[in-house]
A and B are shown apart, each in its own frame.
Chain A
Amino acid sequence: GDSVTQMEGPVTLSEEAFLTINCTYTATGYPSLFWYVQYPGEGLQLLLKATKADDKGSNKGFEATYRKETTSFHLEKGSVQVSDSAVYFCALSDQDAGANSKLTFGKGITLSVRP
């Protein structure tokens, strides 16, 4: 079945540091890939997405590129801010399965950014 593997956390960085959060996936079809973010006390929000190989999703300074050859979708940001402190989830939606709303999530990783 489909699965998403994220790097172990938590991650603590100083403000303005470079961020990489690794994500790899296994899927039977041609998945769309997503990063969701959960700020303290809030619901999950879509951060960015990519629907086919080599697509780059970007939002709020975050970027991730859909790499089919390495089955990866790593999240990067050049300079993190304290306000980026949150839990980040990598997820996939297998379009071939015809289940538009079924997402398979990674375990999530907590990012803390120090001033």
Chain B
Amino acid sequence: KAGVTQTPRYLIKTRGQQVTLSCSPISGHRSVSWYQQTPGQGLQFLFEYFSETQRNKGNFPGRFSGRQFSNSRSEMNVSTLELGDSALYLCASSLVAGITGELFFGEGSRLTVL
């Protein structure tokens, strides 16, 4: 069974640009959530999608957005990039029903903002 796949794995952008990251969940998983991992703040919840609807959102500015498609794949977008957006962005999928908090994580997309 294939795991959670994130693309691209590494990318470099400059301040002011925008970036789109992609996540393909485990087959059959309908929930996708996103986390930002930095050395200073650790792992922080960005948002969660289920059946193409955002169910939950963390405390990030509106520059961070996401969406989910009918096949459960998800994308997140960061506009007007800032140096502080440099981080590892992790996507996780879950079955949701009856399983609380058991997330399956991808290897992440490492974003560097110059």
- A contact residues vs B (CB 8 Å cutoff): 32, 34, 36, 41-46, 49, 51, 89, 91-93, 95, 99-108
Q: Which residues of B contact A89 (CB under 8 A)?
A: 43
Q: Which residues of B contact A103 (CB under 8 A)?
A: 35, 43, 45, 101, 103
Q: Which 6 A-B pairs have the closest CB atoms?
A: A93-B101, A43-B105, A105-B43, A44-B105, A107-B42, A101-B33
Q: Which residues of B contact A102 (CB under 8 A)?
A: 33, 45, 48, 56, 58
Q: Which residues of B contact A44 (CB under 8 A)?
A: 90, 92, 103, 105
Residues of chain B from 17 to 34 with CB closer than 8 A to chain A in the complex: 31, 33
Q: Cα distance A45–B103 when bound, in Å? A: 8
- B contact residues vs A (CB 8 Å cutoff): 3-4, 31, 33, 35, 42-45, 48, 50, 55-56, 58, 90, 92, 94, 96, 99-108
Q: Smallest Cβ distance from B109 to chain A, in angstroms?
A: 11
Q: Smallest Cβ distance from B87 to chain A, in angstroms?
A: 14
Q: Which residues of B contact A92 (CB under 8 A)?
A: 101
Q: Are A100 and B94 in contact (CB under 8 A)?
A: yes
Q: Are B100 and A100 in contact (CB under 8 A)?
A: yes
Look across to chain A and name the residue whose beta carbon is closest to the beta carbon of B48.
A101
Q: List 27 A-B contacts (CB under 8 A).
A: A32-B100, A43-B107, A44-B92, A44-B103, A45-B105, A49-B102, A89-B43, A99-B48, A99-B55, A100-B31, A100-B100, A101-B31, A101-B48, A101-B92, A101-B103, A102-B33, A102-B45, A102-B58, A103-B101, A103-B103, A104-B45, A105-B35, A105-B43, A105-B44, A106-B42, A107-B42, A108-B43
